[in-house]
Amino acid sequence: MNMLRLNGWGISALLVTLLSAASGPIHAQRGGRGGPPAPPAPRAASPIDLTGQWVSLITEEWRQRQFTGAKNDFGSLNVVLLPAARKIAAGWDPARDAAAGEQCKPYGAAGVMRLPTRVRLSWQDDTALRLETDAGTQTRLFKFGPPQGDGGDWQGVSTASWDYPQAALAGRGLGPAPGGSLKVITTKMKPGYLSRNGVPYSGNAVMTEYFDRFDVPGGDSLLVVSSEIVDPEFLATPYWTSQQFKRETDASRWRPTPCGAR
């Protein structure tokens, strides 16, 4: 190779040039003496602001989401349901649920985000985001860090993190990616309904959600939640949907209602 025919001074000069070009930013990333600084708290590290009041825009699967469907009317869920789910849905009895005090089955974490509702997102503290719904008056808590809690209630245990595109070999050739999303993994939910007419999910369901905020030219802001629900007991494949919400400034539209009011 011609390059290796450089004399010793030439190689040295090239290496010095290259390494000096590389060393500046790398050094800067280390934070100076005393090792790396403590990472900022999740709230301070937010790449996007999700807080505020958002109203759902029911523009897809409209009939099934705006109204309680008839028994066995599954809509697009048809393509993912296993026979076990169909069997349970066929026995759906809302009166029986109410009598058993389980009228909140459609308002669990895996169902409530697809209902016609408003949501409010706020920081409970520096490490946890709170999501409230006025439909069913539910509260989801997205805690950053390791999973916390035993779950077993409608909203289960939600673990949050800020999500950035990652290289397969971290640190090789990728700088920090711009933007970011809120990633929430929810487990240990009390079994509930994916839709109000009794399509079930199990206590072993795992829901992964990505919350993105988009600012539309003209002023509207959108919150889009892309979700995946994995439930081998009832679903043949992961169930993928995305829900959109529009930012609202009129707080008077917030009308908490109990489960089963619709």
Q: Which of residues 13-72 bind another protein (CB under 8 A)?
A: 14-15, 18-19, 21-26, 47-48, 55-63, 66-67, 69-70
**What track of x and - describes contact with another protein for positions 218 through 247 (by CB under 8 A)?**
x-x-x-x-x-x----------xxxxxx-x-
Q: Which of 31, 71, 76, 145 binds another protein (CB under 8 A)?
A: 76
Q: How do 157-163 and 138-144 pair as beta strands?
A: parallel
Does position 172 bind another protein by CB under 8 A?
yes
The stretch among 94-102, 141-149, 160-168, 198-206 that binds another protein (CB under 8 A) is 160-168
Buried/exposed 187-200: b ≥16 CB within 10 Å, e otherwise: bbbbbbbbbbbbbb
CB 189 within 8 A of CB 155: yes
Shortest distance in whole angstroms from residue 160 CB to another protein: 14
Cβ neighbours for 43, distance < 8 A, ≥ 6 positions apart: 123, 125, 126, 127
Whose tokens are 């990333």? That residue is 29
Shortest distance in whole angstroms from residue 152 CB to another protein: 27
d(Cα 31, Cα 231) in Å, to the nearest integer? 44
Q: How do 128-133 and 52-56 pair as beta strands?
A: unpaired
Nearer to another protein, 34 or 218 (CB): 218
Kindly state the number of chain residues that form the binding site for another protein, as judged by CB under 8 A.
76
Binning the chain into helix, strand and coil, the percentages to the nearest 5 are 25, 30, 45
Interface with another protein in residues 86-145 (CB under 8 A): 116-118, 134-135
Q: Which of 37, 173, 249, 252 binds another protein (CB under 8 A)?
A: 173
Nearer to another protein, 22 or 41 (CB): 22
Shortest distance in whole angstroms from residue 242 CB to another protein: 4
Does position 262 bind another protein by CB under 8 A?
yes
d(Cα 252, Cα 222) in Å, to the nearest integer? 19
Shortest distance in whole angstroms from residue 139 CB to another protein: 18
CB 52 within 8 A of CB 169: no
H-helix or E-strand containing 90? helix 83-90
Nearer to another protein, 18 or 90 (CB): 18
Shortest distance in whole angstroms from residue 13 CB to another protein: 12
